[in-house]
Structure 1
C-alpha cells in the first residue's frame, strides 16, 4: 500500500508542485523563461526564485542565465531527474487516490 509519506517532499510543497507540473509541459529538452513561468503561476519573483532554488538544489531544475540582445533572461527546465521525480510523484499520488486502480 502506498502512503502520503512516500510523496517526494521537495515536490510536495504546493508551489513547487505547480512549478514542476508547469515545466513538465515543456517538450523534451525545452525550457521556459522565468517571466513566463512567473506569469503562468501568478507568483512574485521572490517567491518563485525561492522555490526554484529548492528544486535546483535537489537537481530537479536547471537555471540558465543568458542574454537576449542586451537584456538578461533566465531559462528554466526540468532535468531528467526532475522529470522522473515528477512522474514518480504523480504515479504515487494516483495510487493513493485510487488504491484499487
Structure 2
C-alpha cells in the first residue's frame, strides 16, 4: 500500500526535496521549503502526498477535539480512585531494609 501512495522513507539527518514529511517518532508533520533541507531531530520520516495531508489534517484535529473532553475526566477519576483505594487499604510505598548476608 505504501508503494501505491508513493511514500518515501527518509532518516533524520538526510537532505530531502520540497514536500511534507511525517516524523513517526514524534507523530508530527514537517514542511520542507522549495530549496529542500536536512531533516532534523531523530526517527524516520515519510514523505506524505499533499492531498492526504489536506484530507487527514482536519480529521485528526476533529478526533482530538472530540476525545479530549472525554479523556480528561476519565484520567482524573482514575487517579482519584487509585488514591482513595490506596488510602482505604492502608498501602504504603515499599521500604528497603537490606542487610548484607541476609542477617536480620
TM-score (norm 1): 0.33
More helix by share: 1
TM-score (norm 2): 0.32
More strand by share: 2
Of structures 1 and 2, the larger Rg is shown by 2
